[in-house]
Homo-oligomer: A and B are copies of this chain.
Amino acid sequence: MTTDLSKTGIRMSRLTGVRAIMHDIRQSQAASPSAPWTNLSPGNPVILPEVEAMWRAHTRAVADSKEFGEIVCRYGESQGYPPLLDAVVDLFNKKYGWGITQDNVLITPGSQSSLFAAANCFCGVNAKGQLRKLLLPLSPDYTGYDGICLDEEALVSVPPDIEIIDAHTFKYGVDFSKLHIDATTGAVMFSRPCNPSGNVIRTDEVEKIIALARAHDVPVFIDAAYGPPFPNLAFTPIDPFRGDNVVYSMSLSKAGLPGERIGIAVGPSRYLDVMRAFLTNAVIHSSRFGQAIVARAIASGELVKVSQAVIGPYYRKKFELMRRLMAESMPAIDWYLHKFEGALFAWLWLKDLPITDLELYNEIKKEGVFVVPGSFFFPGTDARWKHRSECLRISLTAADEEITKGVAAIARVAAKLYNKASNTARIAAG
A-side residues, CB < 8 A to B, are 1, 3-10, 12-16, 19, 43-45, 47, 51-52, 55-56, 59-60, 62-64, 68-76, 109-110, 112-113, 116, 120-127, 132, 144, 147-148, 150, 186, 217, 219, 244, 253, 256-261, 270-271, 273-274, 277-278, 280-290
| A246, chain B: closest CB distance, angstroms | 13
**Alpha-carbon gap, A282 to B124, bound state (A):** 16
**Alpha-carbon gap, A329 to B64, bound state (A):** 45
Query: B289 and A121: CB pair below 8 A?
Result: no
A121-B9, A277-B14, A278-B9 given as contacts; is B3 within 8 A of A44 (CB)?
A: no
Query: A126 and B280: CB pair below 8 A?
Result: no
Query: A1 and B217: CB pair below 8 A?
Result: yes
Query: A277 and B121: CB pair below 8 A?
Result: no
User: For the complex formed by this chain, how many copies does it contain in all?
Assistant: 2
Q: Which of B51, B259, B273 contacts A287 (CB 8 A)?
A: B259
| A257, chain B: closest CB distance, angstroms | 6
Query: B124 and A7: CB pair below 8 A?
Result: yes
| A191, chain B: closest CB distance, angstroms | 15
A186-B6, A281-B16, A287-B109 given as contacts; is B72 within 8 A of A59 (CB)?
A: yes
Q: Which of B69, B147, B244, B289 contacts A289 (CB 8 A)?
A: B289
Which residues from B are CB-within-8-Å of A55?
68, 72-73
**Alpha-carbon gap, A144 to B282, bound state (A):** 9
Query: A280 and B59: CB pair below 8 A?
Result: no
Which residues from B are CB-within-8-Å of A144?
281
Which residues from B are CB-within-8-Å of A273?
13
Query: A9 and B217: CB pair below 8 A?
Result: no
Q: Which of B217, B219, B287 contacts A260 (CB 8 A)?
A: B287
| A73, chain B: closest CB distance, angstroms | 5
Which residues from B are CB-within-8-Å of A44?
74-75
Which residues from B are CB-within-8-Å of A71?
259
Query: A73 and B217: CB pair below 8 A?
Result: no
| A279, chain B: closest CB distance, angstroms | 9
**Alpha-carbon gap, A15 to B73, bound state (A):** 24
Measured CB to CB, the nearest residue on chain B to A123 is B6
| A306, chain B: closest CB distance, angstroms | 13
**Alpha-carbon gap, A385 to B5, bound state (A):** 33
Query: A257 and B6: CB pair below 8 A?
Result: no
Query: B3 and A113: CB pair below 8 A?
Result: no
Query: A3 and B56: CB pair below 8 A?
Result: no
**Alpha-carbon gap, A320 to B122, bound state (A):** 49
Query: B125 and A6: CB pair below 8 A?
Result: yes
- Most chain B CB atoms below 10 A, which of A15, A123, A150, A281: A281
| A372, chain B: closest CB distance, angstroms | 15
A277-B14, A282-B112 given as contacts; is B5 within 8 A of A121 (CB)?
A: yes
Query: A76 and B259: CB pair below 8 A?
Result: yes
For this complex, 28 residue pairs linking A to B, each with C-beta atoms less than 8 Å apart, are A1-B270, A4-B126, A5-B274, A6-B120, A6-B125, A6-B126, A6-B186, A9-B274, A9-B278, A12-B282, A13-B274, A15-B277, A16-B281, A47-B69, A47-B70, A52-B68, A52-B73, A55-B68, A72-B259, A74-B259, A76-B258, A110-B284, A147-B282, A260-B289, A282-B282, A286-B287, A287-B287, A287-B290
| A364, chain B: closest CB distance, angstroms | 23
Which residues from B are CB-within-8-Å of A6?
120-126, 132, 186
Query: B120 and A259: CB pair below 8 A?
Result: no
Q: Which of B8, B62, B121 contacts A124 (CB 8 A)?
A: B8
Q: Which of B72, B219, B257 contacts A72 (CB 8 A)?
A: B257
Which residues from B are CB-within-8-Å of A258?
73-76
